[in-house]
Amino acid sequence: MAKLTIQDADVAGKTVLMRVDFNVPLDDQGQITDDRRIQMAVPSIKSVLDRGGKLILMSHLGRPKDAPDAKYTLKPTAVRLGEILGMSVDFATDTVGADAKAKATSLKTGGVLVLENLRFQPGEKKGDAVFADELASFADIYCNDAFGTCHRTDASMVAVPKAMGNKPKVVGFLVAKEIQYLTDAIRAPKRPFVAILGGAKVSDKILVIKNLLGICDKVLIGGAMAYTFSLAQGGKVGKSLVEPDKIDLAKELLAAGGDKLVLPIDNHCGDDFKADCNKKIFKSGEIADDWEGLDIGPETAKLYASIVRTAKTVVWNGPMGVCEIPPFDEGTKIVAQAIADSDSISIIGGGDSAAAIQQLGFADKVSHVSTGGGASLSMLEGQKFEAVEILDNKKEGKSGCCCCCGH
């Protein structure tokens, strides 16, 4: 069943409470170093403002311990949003306190108010109903445009829309787009369908690998988790990062995957975890004792690039190596270039993969760059999102984006 979007809601003269994902990176001076998540929310924000609505934005930032922490204030995001919109954006110094209530009440048509960090309140992570009731009382319409937290059951994601009762509850354009791409990729991919999975731990990607092996034509493995697979095959991995307790699981995945599961054939290794270490290429399963695998090797990079070039759908989540330490970013670069050069539907699943695509200048050469690493992984695992399922459905016969409810 497709979900109603913010465009379907009559916002004129009404207040919209929109959950956004303004969890942006900040430097030591509290300055935003990457505003992509704010930029991605702008279409939904403008939809409300252009149609005569009032807008209250709520988000988390960082991991404060259920109490105010100046390091995690959302004020810089309100300032940056104002610069993007070319207008004054108000900021409440609390979330549901006196300042938030006063500013929400006095908000004028066309106005925007950003509430202080949701996670300054212990009720957010606990999904507290009383906290949710206070937030819900601010508005006439609820909008979820925070894909990065759609896999969570925080108060702002689930308890708040529940507390809205019969008031409209819709998705924003970003959530609609994210779910559409990922749902289509899983349910009806154009083939060949290739998944590229990197990162440190097999345990982080178990369910994704299992799910994708039943859907994909090829699943390419990179990152440190490749060494656990190599160990499971009886290979030598030197001092590479491995999960010894996941050897049996790796064997199960190898047996289930067959020739669908593609592992590195060589590895770019170092004798220390730093850029100026000694470097050497080893065949997979033959890494010497004092060496550590830090990236896929050049032959693997060529192999993966050739597989990607034949694909019609590509999903990528996780770097191929330690991409923050050159030259062990080379495998990630080659894979990213192959995706950018292909004519496939290409979906980049948040986190380090999204950062790599952005930094390499390929963001406009792929179909979709996800704003939510954890959420995109959850969708690739086949999970359902309560935060989306509880929102209002379109009536049958109306077109719209697919949601992840499975109907």
Q: Is 201 known to be catalytic?
A: yes
Secondary-structure percent of the chain, ordered helix, strand, coil, rounded to 5? 40, 15, 40
**262 within 8 A of 220, measured Cβ to Cβ:** yes
- φ and ψ of 87, to 5 deg: -155, 170
**46 within 8 A of 11, measured Cβ to Cβ:** no
Q: Is 37 known to be catalytic?
A: yes
**212 within 8 A of 313, measured Cβ to Cβ:** no
Q: Measuring CA to CA, which residue among 81, 57, 74 is closest to residue 6?
A: 57
Catalytic residue among 236, 374, 382, 394: 374
Catalytic residue among 167, 201, 283, 302: 201
Backbone dihedral region of 265: left (phi > 0), alpha (psi from -120 to 50 degrees) or beta?
alpha
Peptide bond into 192 cis (omega under 30): yes
Catalytic residue among 3, 19, 37, 177: 37
Q: Which residue has the tokens 């149609």?
A: 51
Token pair of 45 as six digits: 């924000």
The torsion of the CA quartet 242, 243, 244, 250, rounded to 10 degrees, works out to -100
**213 within 8 A of 257, measured Cβ to Cβ:** yes
Q: Is 53 known to be catalytic?
A: no
Catalytic residue among 111, 350, 351, 400: 351
**58 within 8 A of 95, measured Cβ to Cβ:** yes
DSSP 37: H
Token pair of 13 as six digits: 């003269």
Strand-pair category, 292-296 with 266-270 = antiparallel
* Single-letter residue type at 351: G
Q: Which residues are annotated as catalytic?
A: 37, 201, 351, 374
